[in-house]
Amino acid sequence: MIAIGTLLLMVPAASTGTSLGVIDALFMSTSASCVTGLSVLDISHGLTRYGQFVILVLIQFGGLGILTISTLVLMMVRKRPTLSGQALIKDTFTYGEGKQTASAVLKAIFVTAFCIEAAGALGLYLRMAPETGWGRAAYPAVFHAVSAFCNAGFSLYSDSFVGYREDWAVNAILSVLIIVGGIGFIVIADVKKRFMERKTVVRRLSLHSRVALTASAVLILVGAAAILVMEWNNTLAPLSVPGRIMAALFQSITARTAGFNTLDIGIMANETLFFLCILMFIGACPGSCGGGVKTTTVFGLWVLGISRLRGYTHPQVFRRTLTEASISKATSVVMVSMAVITLAIMVLMMSELGGFSHTQTRGRFLELFFEALSAFGTVGLSTGVTETLSEMGRITIVALMFIGRLGPMVIALAVSRERISRVHYAEENIMIG
């Protein structure tokens, strides 16, 4: 998909000026396919309508995921996925519950995604049409609805949505699309069952759904409060009090994976940028359009730490005990992710800052650190250094976006395999802490 997108974007008809080179086309294709949103050019002016449409298609396919797309292709040519493939699809998108076939699960995913995007596009269209015209509002409404639901962050406006930072309707529609696209199809299906099925006994949400929704809500509220405090006299200063609250809330929602912004990221305080890095590293929920190590991963490790501090031998939450397998997966995902990010930042510093002392490059480390976290978390926020990166720096960001999109999932699947050892050695403690 990335390779095809690269070729399509290299066509002269895709650019308004000089045709994109291989590296730039690869960067843009990877960013769109991995629903990241980082860009080496302003797509509102640098790409033609054809080029923008290529980006839109890549976002849609990337958001739904290579797993669902590849299975759909198999079904279109009347080939059935293997039994292990069907089991993987069910486990990924239904959390092992129900007896739905793989085709039924895929149909539900596509119908749900398109219905939500259509509703979002309609809302944006009705809001923007009176200002831009009923004919001209359709295209940007559809583009931004797909970009928001897929948590891509690509915008047809040069300043993203800074011009709409005090527009409650636009902020609300985009926020809902981002949140729904970021909580995952598993949670969406579970909530739908919970409220639509008519039963005598009220159906309880699964533990996964409760953890995902709780973690997302906590991160959004804590993030909004932190941004509000740290940026009150900085980027939020020109806004009214309700506008400041809305902007902080929107930036907290979009920072974990979507990449839209209503505040100027480039002039934010150092502490705000560092805090946004934490949110970008955490990311969205499993089985969603977003990236990062995932909310449930961090929530599981947090519960483990709190449970141990309280004296419990096993992590407990919502009157349930988290399995050892879940904690092991969470630990593996975080450790490998931190190793990948550390290596990438080292490469970026060598390619962008090599040969200069730290006194000559003050502030650049945080910018490169922010860029790396944004790429790995498939977020798309930037302090403005993307277009200034060298070819080596751009290739590094491309690799980070690709690993960030597939990495955590691949790691989780890899550590899911149980390996039976024929040799068991004697146990012995080491000193910790």
Instruction: Give the pLDDT band of residue 419 (cuts 50, 70, 90).
Output: low
Instruction: Give the pLDDT band of residue 412 (cuts 50, 70, 90).
Output: low
The residue among 103 and 152 whose pLDDT is bigger is 152
Three-state DSSP state, 390 = coil
How high does pLDDT run on average in the chain? 86
How far apart, in Å, are the Cα atoms of 285 and each of 83, 143, 267, 308, 334? Answer: 26, 23, 29, 25, 14
The residue among 394 and 71 whose pLDDT is bigger is 394
How far apart, in Å, are the Cα atoms of 273 and each of 40, 171, 252, 366, 397? Answer: 20, 21, 12, 8, 18
Q: Is the dihedral of CA 301, 305, 306, 307 positive or negative?
A: positive
Residue type at 313 in one-letter notation: T
Instruction: Give the pLDDT band of residue 85 (cuts 50, 70, 90).
Output: low
32: phi then psi, degrees, rounded to nearest 5: -75, -45
pLDDT digits (tens, 9 = 90+) for 253-272: 999 888 899 999 999 999 99
Instruction: Give the pLDDT band of residue 358 (cuts 50, 70, 90).
Output: confident
Three-state DSSP state, 167 = coil
pLDDT for residue 132: 84
Residue type at 210 in one-letter notation: R
Q: Give 164's DSSP letter.
A: G
The H or E element that residue 11 is part of is none
pLDDT for residue 72: 56
C-alpha dihedral (342, 346, 347, 348), degrees to nearest 10 = 100
- Whether 44 shows a pLDDT value over 80: the answer reads yes
181 vs 199: CA distance, rounded Å: 28
pLDDT for residue 273: 95
- Whether 97 shows a pLDDT value over 60: the answer reads no
- Whether 332 shows a pLDDT value over 80: the answer reads yes
Least reliable range by pLDDT among 76-80, 276-280, 365-369: 76-80
Percent share of the chain, pLDDT over 90: 51
364 vs 369: CA distance, rounded Å: 8
pTM: 0.87
- Nearest 5 degrees, angle CA 122-CA 154-CA 156? 70
- Whether 81 shows a pLDDT value over 90: the answer reads no
Least reliable range by pLDDT among 56-65, 85-94, 305-314, 345-354: 85-94
pLDDT for residue 413: 61
Query: Quick one: average pLDDT of 136-150?
Result: 94
Query: Quick one: average pLDDT of 281-302?
Result: 88
The H or E element that residue 78 is part of is none
From the CB of residue 87, how many other CB atoms can be counted at a distance below 10 Å?
Answer: 13
Helix segments in 256-390, DSSP class H = 270-282, 295-309, 324-353, 364-376
The residue among 47 and 360 whose pLDDT is bigger is 47
